[in-house]
Amino acid sequence: MEPRTNFMGLDLALCPDVYEPSDDSELMVEAARKYSFGKVLDLGCATGIFGIASAQKKEVSSVVCADLNPAAVELAKKNAVLNGVEKKISFIQTDLFSAFSSSSKPKEKFDVIGFNPPYLPTTPAEKVHGTLNLAFDGGKSGRKITDKFLSGFEKHLNSGGILILLQSSLSGVEKTTVVLEKKGFAVGKFASRRFFFEEIAVLVARKRPEDEKKKPRARRDLNPGPTT
């Protein structure tokens, strides 16, 4: 019998090859419960926790749970059934957005993209064995996957859409904020948690409409998006 847990009211099967929910996942669930609406992408879904919490909301019409780790995709499927939301969710194995952008069809877009990326600065000696490494390994700087994600995620966000992104002080929350602001997003810190060695934070970013961009705005005092 596989291990099971109840995490923030969600019934979740666990698997040794897949990231087990932790403090960062908790912040992501809180953000999903507050902000998710319309069509949601849970990128790097692992257990499917962000997508499942989103699918439970009536404001959410559909969810895609996606992960590079095939064991995570299978586990998320199982967990969607355990929580009775499987009809709202589809599942896909993909490296970031590769499955959502092909030359033959238009880029798939979402109203909300949630991503809790691997962000730990990792040397070759620190790599974890097997596919579980994908959950932690942010490359030498910790920003390898985050920077790749930031380079083009906005092409997959509908107008008025929201990005919910977990970041850590170990790999530069401020740097990510600056990148998002340069792309024309209003960025707010939804929640954070401090540990003795790091601070983790959920950034909520909303694309500013063209006319708003012309006005000077103070940073961090922007309403990051609709609340539900």
Binding site for ligand SAM (CB under 6 A): 19, 21, 24-25, 28, 43-46, 49-50, 67-69, 72, 95-96, 116-118, 134-135, 145
* CB atoms near residue 142 (< 10 Å): 22
State the nearest-atom distance from the C-beta of 45 to ligand SAM, in Å. 6
**Closer residue to ligand SAM in complex, CB, 35/222:** 35
Distance separating alpha carbons of residues 184 and 150, to the nearest angstrom: 13
Distance separating alpha carbons of residues 50 and 107, to the nearest angstrom: 22
Tokens encoding 158: 């509908």
Tokens encoding 6: 């109840």
State the nearest-atom distance from the C-beta of 50 to ligand SAM, in Å. 5
**Closer residue to ligand SAM in complex, CB, 37/50:** 50
* Structural contact between residues 118 and 138, judged by C-beta atoms closer than 8 angstroms: yes
* Structural contact between residues 153 and 113, judged by C-beta atoms closer than 8 angstroms: yes
**Closer residue to ligand SAM in complex, CB, 131/177:** 131
Distance separating alpha carbons of residues 228 and 71, to the nearest angstrom: 32
Q: How many secondary structure helices (H) and strands (E) does the chain include?
A: 6, 9
Instruction: Give the residue from 46, 84, 82 showing the smallest Cα distance to 65.
Output: 46
> How would you classify the pairing of strands 110-115 and 89-93?
unpaired
State the nearest-atom distance from the C-beta of 136 to ligand SAM, in Å. 7
**Closer residue to ligand SAM in complex, CB, 50/185:** 50
**Closer residue to ligand SAM in complex, CB, 95/199:** 95
State the nearest-atom distance from the C-beta of 90 to ligand SAM, in Å. 15
**Closer residue to ligand SAM in complex, CB, 68/203:** 68
State the nearest-atom distance from the C-beta of 118 to ligand SAM, in Å. 5
State the nearest-atom distance from the C-beta of 219 to ligand SAM, in Å. 26
